[in-house]
Amino acid sequence: MITIKMKNVAGDFAENKDIAKDIRINKLLPALEKEEDVTFDFDGVSGATQSFIHALISDALRKHPDTVYDKVFFKNANEDIQKIITIVYRYMQESM
Amino acid sequence: MRIYFSNQGNLRYFGHFVQRLDFDNPNKLEIVTDERWVNVHPAHLVLTAALANKVGKENSEIISNVPESARYLDRMGLYNFVKTPSPFGSYERKDPSGRFIPITIIKNSSGQSHFITEMVPLLHLGENDASTIKYIIGELVRNVLEHAYADSGAIVAAQYFKNTNRISLAICDAGIGLWKGLKIWHPRTDEDAIQLALTPGISGTTRKEGGTSENAGAGLFFIKSIAKTTRNNFAIYSGDAAYVLKKTRPDQKKPKLKANPFEDSCVRETGLARFDGTLVAVDISLDTTVEFKQMLDMIGNVYEAAIHERKERKYREPNFI
């Protein structure tokens, strides 16, 4: 299982999509291919943009629909971040 | 090109501002101000800076006698973009803390992150307000960096108005504009392109529902929706068209979000001076009682419904005979 401390990589406000892309390509997708659990820990992160969350997880939702819902976890996400993650989860499922 | 700064800086008069733009001579920029009083929105400043950047400082000037209130143009940094020297000489500039963000150019994502961090203390924002403003700046700047192909980057400015407890902000680029950016959707006109840009789930990078791994076509829809739920103005100008979302008055019912921006109460302008770039401006009232998370709920529901409706339209029906 891998845990990614989002504050350390994305800062207090997660908006930099280059960072989201880097996490997706180098950590999230390889872990899902090995069916490993991935936890995104948002402790200390005050907010995130929809673009950031989309760049982080939409590809995993599309490419690993059989594993992503059981293997990816979001820890310490505040209500705003939870809402944005939920929006991305919902519209990605709606669009597939 | 000629820009006129009047005494009507409020975003609801944005249509008047763009109607008076004259871009006939593309190699020179002349700025004219009202003789008695100048009142500008950050939208006016960032557009002027973008055009001045394009033609060069040596070809940009303020040609009228400016009134004392034009000192604001100096504070916001406009004189850095024109050859005209500031008539206000050296004076003690007010500490910008808690008041405004002067015209700033952002050229890459690290510059964007730095700007967002620096901006919050400058505007003295509370936690909920900071989330909203950081969100808006984050999405708008990213749009420019990814889709505008503007060598001069994103030009941003913001102002806090104490009497109305409101923040006005604007971002402009001299890039390819919305029509070219959305050409995979075959917009016929610049007005069509604005409509597409504000529709949830429409991205310039793909026609696939859900977008690509990088883009979902949600950014501008979210920003317009934030302005609507907080009962504020929102404006966008690209090509020869502009769109101004009208403010929902406090005595009117709770604003209802629409997937089609032209169903909102709005003013649409066409046949304007052609601007090869994109300008977005928004006002945010800090008095609003709408929590950011409530806004997200409303926005998420409309976004999802819009995708659902488009998908249903794509379903092939069986042939019953």
B35 close contact with A: CB closer than 8 A: no
Tokens of B92: 């003690």
Share of chain B above pLDDT 90, in %: 48
A64 close contact with B: CB closer than 8 A: no
Residue B171 has pLDDT above 60, yes or no: yes
pLDDT value at residue B292? 75
Residue B29 has pLDDT above 90, yes or no: yes
The parent domain of residue A78 ranges over 2-95
pLDDT value at residue A5? 97
B118 close contact with A: CB closer than 8 A: no
Distance (Å, whole) CA B237 – CA B221: 15
The stretch A64-79 carries a mean pLDDT of 92
Tokens of A14: 């997660």
What's the number of domains chain A is made of? 1
Tokens of B33: 């101000």
Q: Residues B40, B9: contact at Cβ < 8 Å?
A: yes
Residue B96 has pLDDT above 80, yes or no: no
Q: Tell me the pLDDT band of B318, cut-offs 50, 70 and 90.
A: low
Average model confidence (pLDDT) across chain B: 87
B243-279 per-position pLDDT tens digit? 999 988 777 777 888 889 999 999 999 999 999 999 9
Relative orientation angle of helices B292-314 and B127-143, to the nearest 10 degrees? 40
Q: Tell me the pLDDT band of B284, cut-offs 50, 70 and 90.
A: confident
A17-70 per-position pLDDT tens digit? 999 999 999 999 999 999 999 999 999 999 999 999 999 999 999 999 889 999
The parent domain of residue B243 ranges over 2-87+99-314
Residue B319 lies in a domain: no
A90 close contact with B: CB closer than 8 A: yes
CA within 13 Å, CB half, A12: 10
Q: Tell me the pLDDT band of B88, cut-offs 50, 70 and 90.
A: confident
pLDDT value at residue A64? 92
B174-204 per-position pLDDT tens digit? 999 999 999 989 999 999 999 999 998 887 7
Q: What are residue B281's DSSP bridge partners?
A: B170, B235
Measured between CA atoms, how close is A1 to chain B, in angstroms? 23
Tokens of B310: 């488009």
B101-137 per-position pLDDT tens digit? 899 999 998 888 888 888 877 777 777 677 888 888 8
Q: A11 vs B139: CB contact, 8 Å cut-off?
A: no
Residue B92 lies in a domain: no
Residue B320 has pLDDT above 70, yes or no: no
Q: Select from A93, A94, A96 the residue whose CB has the most chain B CBs within 10 Å, as the one to mutate to test that interface.
A: A94
3-class secondary structure, B290: coil
Q: Tell me the pLDDT band of B98, cut-offs 50, 70 and 90.
A: low
Residue B210 has pLDDT above 90, yes or no: no
In this complex, which of A11, A50, A59 lies closest to B218 when CB atoms are compared?
Answer: A50
Q: What is the DSSP string of chain A?
A: -EEEEHHHHH-SEE--HHHHHHHIIIIIHHHHHTT--EEEE-TT--EE-HHHHHHHHHHHHHH-TTTHHHHEEEES--HHHHHHHHHHHHHHHHH-
- Longest CA–CA span in chain B (Å) reads 84
B116 close contact with A: CB closer than 8 A: yes
Tokens of A9: 């990589």
CATH of the domain at B310: 3.30.565.10
What's the number of domains chain B is made of? 1
B222 close contact with A: CB closer than 8 A: yes
Q: Tell me the pLDDT band of B288, cut-offs 50, 70 and 90.
A: low
